[in-house]
Amino acid sequence: MTAPHEFSALDQYRLLQRGELGVVELTQHYLDRIGARDGELGAFFTVTAERALERARHVEMHVPRSTRLWGMPFADKDLWRREGVRTTFGSRAFAHFVPEASDELPGVLDEAGGISLGKTATPEFGMTSHSETLLAPPARNPWNLDLGPGGSSGGAAAAVSAGLLPFAPGSDGGGSIRIPAAACGLVGIKPSRGRVPALSGIDALGGLPVAGPIARSVVDAAFLLDGMIGRRGSVIDDHFALRAPSEDDGDFLGFAMRGEGRFQIGVCVDSPWSSSHELVIDPEITAVLADTVALLSALGHGIEEVGLEPAPEYGSAFTTVWQAGAAQIRIESVPPIEADADADGDVEPLTRWLRRRGRELTAVQLAQALAELSRFERRTIDRFSGFDAVLTPTLALLPRPIGWYDAADPERNFAQQVEYSPFSSYVNAAGLPAITLPVGMSSDSLPIGMQLIGRPGGESVLLSIARQLERRLRWEEKHPPIWS
């Protein structure tokens, strides 16, 4: 008999809708898998089993089946507050913090009929591309437990890859969805700025962080994205939409299922970080990129190389904005830490360095950095305007070993993150949508992902192209050793 997690997320939803699978039954199935496997994986900081089962009973009896994610389990990334549930932000300073109110995104997922099973692991305040923290043991990559799953949505990706969740929401301020999705052999979508109202990026410094889905397939990722946006019927229920909704707007799930169209695709291996860091792309990743280009050409898409304009100020500008963002973290307000506004509390070296540098910035320096990122956004959109999508590697290196990042030297740690993932942050700076999907395997049986970057508001095209690749590769049928 096929176990529930063996089905796609969409098929699980269909089984629920038909009454062939119970909501409580599905919730218990995933809780059992978490209990059996998460001890070695470290994907969860907190599991809320009793609360999840109570919620499942409520959904089954009282929530309309027409809701977008009716009965589907997920987990909150532990950067988001959920009322009455320990929320650590990956930091020892918040190890015992229980919020009295929820953030907006958990509420949206609840309204869609979803069932949270707990909190997935994240690095301290989500500031890094790895998921190692002094709060708890590191999250591990299901394909090789000696390796990391990437970050900052590393726990979410590890859980989905191992079959502990059907899909998971994540957040992405510089690659934090795409990096772990690529490292764990998954599909991850970073939506356009403004696409997901509950975490749109519009109200954030530099417009960087947005929310998006992590899933095992393109269709499942689109399914969750629709639920995160909050749609009713066929019209976008989004006051911060990139354009006014219309009655003929289709769901992203529909675009992903159809996977239609022929498009003009650029191929880019440039990174704006190359002016400030020495970047090297692993030869196995370069080989998979070439294979992907050949497959896209065979599918009938136009292919052309494209490069970024030189951006010597990008690295400094992005780092400045990242430091300024860290400077806004308020550690002193959470018991039992008692500290003044300039204290670092019980934080890790990288966070301490980022916060202190951020608090040393002048208003002029921050304004100049924001202006540079704005200029970079306009140049990049113009540069890519002749293409429906642009293909890049998702990562420059294969998944990194646990302990590879220098925990004692924060500047070196930051540089290592750039070397690992130089193709992600500039998409956030430009506000563009992007999708990563697994397209190849290394000689050591590790997944290799490729990234497609779209035009502003161009998620539907990305889903269409990605689904065409997925039909050929059938990657969603592959699973890591821990799966069974």
The CA distance from 459 to 433, in Å, is 6
Could you state, in order of their start, the residue ranges of all structural domains in the chain? 128-135+167-483
What pLDDT is recorded for position 331? Answer: 78
What pLDDT is recorded for position 346? Answer: 83
Work out the mean pLDDT of the chain and round it to a whole number.
94
Answer whether 272's CB lies under 8 Å from 308's CB.
Answer: yes
Q: Which residue in 319, 290, 351 sits closest to 426, CA to CA?
A: 319
Which overall architecture, per CATH, does domain 128-135+167-483 show? Alpha-Beta Complex (3.90)
User: In 231-260, which positions are buried (b, 16+ CB within 10 angstroms) versus exposed (e)?
Assistant: beeeebebeebbeeeeeebebbbebbbebe
What pLDDT is recorded for position 341? Answer: 41
Dihedral Cα 74, 80, 84, 90, nearest 10 deg: 100
Catalytic residues: 77, 152, 176
What pLDDT is recorded for position 77? Answer: 98
Q: In this model, does residue 339 exceed pLDDT 70?
A: no
Across-strand partners of 47?
118
Across-strand partners of 449?
438
Is the bond into 152 cis (omega within 30 degrees of 0)?
yes
Q: In this model, does residue 236 exceed pLDDT 90?
A: no
Express each pLDDT in 384-440 by its tens digit.
Answer: 999 999 999 999 999 999 999 999 999 999 999 999 999 999 999 999 999 999 999
What pLDDT is recorded for position 330? Answer: 84
What pLDDT is recorded for position 343? Answer: 54
Express each pLDDT in 181-229 by its tens digit.
Answer: 999 999 999 999 999 999 999 999 999 999 999 999 999 999 999 999 9
The CA distance from 78 to 326, in Å, is 17
Degrees (nearest 5) of the Cα angle 131, 137, 138?
Answer: 25
> Stretch 77-101: mean pLDDT, rounded?
97
Q: In this model, does residue 469 exceed pLDDT 70?
A: yes
> Stretch 168-184: mean pLDDT, rounded?
98
The pLDDT confidence band at residue 344, using thresholds 50, 70 and 90, is low
Express each pLDDT in 33-87 by its tens digit.
Answer: 999 999 999 999 999 999 999 999 999 999 999 999 999 999 999 999 999 999 9
The CA distance from 243 to 293, in Å, is 32
Give alpha helix (H) positions in 175-251. Answer: 178-183, 218-229
What pLDDT is recorded for position 375? Answer: 98
Q: In this model, does residue 246 exceed pLDDT 70?
A: no
Residue 161's SS3 state is helix
